[in-house]
Amino acid sequence: MSQYLELKREVYEANMELDKRKLVTYTFGNVSQIDRKAGVVAIKPSGVAYEVLKPEDIVIVDLENQRVEGKLNPSSDTKTHTYLYRTWSEIGGVTHTHSTYATAWAQAQIAIPCYGTTQADYVYGEIPCAAVMSDERINGDYEEETGAQIVECFADRSPLESPMVIVAGHAPFTWGKDAAKSVYHAVLLEEIAKMAYLTKTLTPSIGDLKQGLVDKHYLRKNGKDAYYGQGK
Amino acid sequence: MSQYLELKREVYEANMELDKRKLVTYTFGNVSQIDRKAGVVAIKPSGVAYEVLKPEDIVIVDLENQRVEGKLNPSSDTKTHTYLYRTWSEIGGVTHTHSTYATAWAQAQIAIPCYGTTQADYVYGEIPCAAVMSDERINGDYEEETGAQIVECFADRSPLESPMVIVAGHAPFTWGKDAAKSVYHAVLLEEIAKMAYLTKTLTPSIGDLKQGLVDKHYLRKNGKDAYYGQGK
Amino acid sequence: MSQYLELKREVYEANMELDKRKLVTYTFGNVSQIDRKAGVVAIKPSGVAYEVLKPEDIVIVDLENQRVEGKLNPSSDTKTHTYLYRTWSEIGGVTHTHSTYATAWAQAQIAIPCYGTTQADYVYGEIPCAAVMSDERINGDYEEETGAQIVECFADRSPLESPMVIVAGHAPFTWGKDAAKSVYHAVLLEEIAKMAYLTKTLTPSIGDLKQGLVDKHYLRKNGKDAYYGQGK
Amino acid sequence: MSQYLELKREVYEANMELDKRKLVTYTFGNVSQIDRKAGVVAIKPSGVAYEVLKPEDIVIVDLENQRVEGKLNPSSDTKTHTYLYRTWSEIGGVTHTHSTYATAWAQAQIAIPCYGTTQADYVYGEIPCAAVMSDERINGDYEEETGAQIVECFADRSPLESPMVIVAGHAPFTWGKDAAKSVYHAVLLEEIAKMAYLTKTLTPSIGDLKQGLVDKHYLRKNGKDAYYGQGK
């Protein structure tokens, strides 16, 4: 019997939540979670529809993308997920979607500015946009390079300060302490991206939210003296 | 046994209605109601998801924001609610959401003009937009100051003439005679905000609805000779 | 026992269809149907929510707006409905909504151009926009004047060539051979209005559909040699 | 007993999927599938609502549009379907809808540019827009000419490189190896068209996705060395 039953079940449920929250069309999207002790990642199989997906279909790979358990091919984006896990020890789950509004911003190839406290409650500042990939990198190890380009957006910033990114011409990736939290951030990103779209088309000249309000909202929820919620 | 059972139940149901009407994502949003005789306010606890919220989780605070009953922390926006109750004796319920279109107008930092009779049926003129807060007020008592800035929008106007406001860079607040009515106004605001967004992006130069039509619609529903509905 | 049981049931069901098709928020909207032999109109009562509406709540009025049967006040828009019935003998049902996209065009105060065959299948050309009302008419018999202004849009055109209109600063009215058909046209109008909004914001300079295509589509469905559908 | 029972059932289910995926309003839209051995096409009857459609209502016609089996009139767009089947031996199913965002692009009379990998996963480059029809062709065999104009868009391109097209002033057509796959492409087109609308209204000056990314995504999924999914 598989030693990864619980890990597979959590990743299965996080993937189904994506579908339930209407963030995916057909087979778009995939969620993974790492077991750092075992050094393995559980991820959705490639091209399998949510309505037929079963917990036992979840594929287990190691951090070098070798299949450890499972009969199906893992998501074609697996190398992007493992790149993020190898680089950022502070994350435990990764979600990739083509959710409508977040993808529109990615296609427009611009970072999502922080226009309001809805975003500042979860992201410290703008949501970065990874650059359009060079031909050299596309023709190299494409999915690995996608991971590398995401990480380059966080040269001066912790990945926890924006648990979400959009990749120019492509779509968003989000992360969190586990698979469920990365899906949670994917849902928030889509809502934030929709509000930002409406704001910018309503008033194209609108500037970013003032730093004082970003600080106040981000820190009352995420700072060391946070007073939102019911404590830890 | 709690003496506030009925108050808690009403506030619980008003909060659940927010979720049912799809005005909130996850834990966004909160509804309260005041019992003026008892001098207490019942409000949603902070950061609790609607799918697990129970009537007994509703927190009772006094008008100075001290918890009177309940084990959970009240909403982090409690001070804004109590500020409004202390200032306006004519209101009995307050709702705060980050509903999509209303928040987009708040992020665009402009009052919602009265473009049509849908708005004029409920609001006498524009829906005001409280100013972006100064750093001094942010660093003071932020949630209390949010209440103060809302009240400043009504210096020359009764809060019943626009039972709704948007706060620049933040999101909307609405009110009414009780919690249920404040949710009702939150639903109307979101629909009005969507229509206004579509109107302005369709014809950016469009002006406000003529005063004669604002008067006619507002007064046939809310004036002393109102003839809409089934009487009082 | 009421002699209008069947008429009330049909009007009740048409009103409920409005709610089911998500064209109304709360009490917005009303549907009526005329019995020309009996000289009466059945219409929704004013300000009653759809979730509590019952067939026996439907009010019967005569063509001079006098209540013939029913305990509740008829819709505050009753005079607009009866004006249309008195003027146009070819219609049997009328629907009024504040559906989102159609209302946005009304608020933008412009007729909906014919951009495509989806509209031309049902409307021969543009969907007219009744003018913003003069103060004199507003202060006269407002709801009656709304009917008069709608009729003025059809000075050179049969009301069957566009079974729908938008009233500037207000909202749409639609009609048909009975209540059900007028609701059908309200649903189509909202979909057409959404497509037209998207078309115009995508390409503000886009012109109307060429007349040859309007003729082809309108006539293959509504002309004397119509070949769409299963015959009469 | 009909020898086309299975064919009718598949076409019935594909039509119902259109309705379930919310791509149609009332009777809009139709799906067909060809049986190339038998030389017949099964297609939705004209003007029949989805809620009353039954598998036995599906009409069988030959490639010259003559009814072979069924009591109802076939879709008024039948000649467009058969034109595509006669011209392109590589397709087995065709879908026509008036889905909202795809129709808006058709009404705006412009091809949908390839802005991102969501499109490039399924379409090699832009989604073409067939020209507004000349009066001569409209007054000739209109539905046949619609087919001819679609085919003209693929003079230099296989219909498999873009299993979808929009027809200027009208609406989209999509195709695939069978009826179900053509509906699948209709769903994807609507989602792609929505993302493209948002992208272009957000940043009107945005250019097409670079060719290297189009190649990478289209070929990793559809090329001879495709590595997406679970193999054939």
Of A184, A195, A227, nearest to B107 by CB-CB distance is: A195
B188–chain C Cβ distance below 8 A for any pair: yes
**Whole-angstrom distance between the N-terminal and C-terminal Cα of chain A?**
35
The confidence band for D230, taking pLDDT boundaries of 50, 70 and 90, is: confident
* Orientation angle between helical segments D179-202 and A179-202, nearest 10 degrees: 60
- The catalytic site residues of D sit at 121, 228
C-alpha to C-alpha distance for A10 and B210, rounded to whole angstroms: 57
pLDDT tens string D121-149 = 999 999 999 999 999 999 999 999 999 99
Interface test with D, best of C184, C198, C200 (most D CBs within 10 A): C198
Q: What pLDDT score was predicted for residue B232? A: 54
Q: What percent of chain C has pLDDT over 70?
A: 100
Give the residue from chain B lying closest to A21, CA to CA: B25
Residues B89-101 have a mean pLDDT of: 98
- What confidence score (pLDDT) does residue B24 get? 92
* Per-residue model confidence as pLDDT tens digits over C28-82: 899 999 999 999 999 999 999 999 999 999 999 999 999 999 999 999 999 999 9
The predicted structure's pLDDT at residue C2: 87
Instruction: Please tell me which chains touch B, using 3 or more CB pairs under 8 Å as the contact test.
Output: A, C
Residue D23 pLDDT > 80, yes or no?
yes
Residue B67 pLDDT greater than 70, yes or no: yes
Tell me the three state secondary structure of residue C97.
coil
List for chain D the helix, strand, coil content (%; round to 5).
40, 15, 45
The model's pLDDT over A31-88, given as tens digits with 9 standing for 90+, comes to 999 999 999 999 999 999 999 999 999 999 999 999 999 999 999 999 999 999 999 9
Is the pLDDT at D75 greater than 70? The verdict is yes
pLDDT for the residue numbered C69:
97
Q: Examine the pLDDT at B20 and tell me if it is beyond 60.
A: yes
pLDDT at residue A1 is higher than 80: no
Nearest CB among D199, D202, D230 relative to A73 is that of D230
Give per-residue pLDDT as tens, C149-168: 999 999 999 999 999 999 99
Q: Does pLDDT of D155 surpass 60?
A: yes
Residue of B nearest to A213 (CA): B138
Judged by CB atoms closer than 8 Å, whether chains meet at C188 and D25 is answered as: yes
B228 is catalytic: yes
If we measure between CA atoms, which residue out of D117, C62, D162 comes closest to residue A166? Answer: D117
Domains of chain D, each with CATH number or no CATH? 5-222 (3.40.225.10)
To the nearest whole number, what is the mean pLDDT of chain D? Answer: 96
**Whole-number pLDDT of residue A232:** 54
Contacting residues for A48 by C-beta, under 8 A, at least 6 apart: A27, A57, A72, D230
Residues D167-178, mean pLDDT to the nearest whole number: 98
The answer, yes or no, to whether residue D1 has pLDDT greater than 80, is: no
β partners of residue B174? B95, B164
Distance between CA D116 and CA D112 in Å, rounded?
11
Question: What band does D209 get if pLDDT is binned at 50, 70 and 90?
Answer: very high
D132 Cβ contact list (under 8 Å, min separation 6): C210, C213, D109, D168, D169
**Chain A residues with CB inside 8 Å of D203's CB?**
108-110
Looking at residue B173, what DSSP letter applies?
E
pLDDT at B228: 82
CA distance A53 to D224: 27
Tokens representing residue A186 in the block: 């994917």
SS3 content of chain C, % helix, strand, coil (to 5): 40, 15, 45
- Considering only CB atoms, A206 lies closest to which of B108, B135, B200, namely B108
Mean pLDDT over the full length of chain A: 96
* Separation in Å, CA of B20 to nearest CA in chain C: 14
Q: What is the pLDDT of residue B153?
A: 98
Residue C232 pLDDT greater than 70, yes or no: no
Report pLDDT digits (tens) over B168-213: 999 999 999 999 999 999 999 999 999 999 999 999 999 999 999 9
List beta partners, residue A164: A174
| pLDDT value, residue C228 | 82
pLDDT at B35: 98
> Which residues of chain C make contact with B115, given a CB cutoff of 8 A?
107, 169
Q: Is B139 on the interface with A (CB under 8 A)?
A: yes
Q: What ipTM was predicted for this assembly?
A: 0.96
- Span B32-37, mean pLDDT? 98
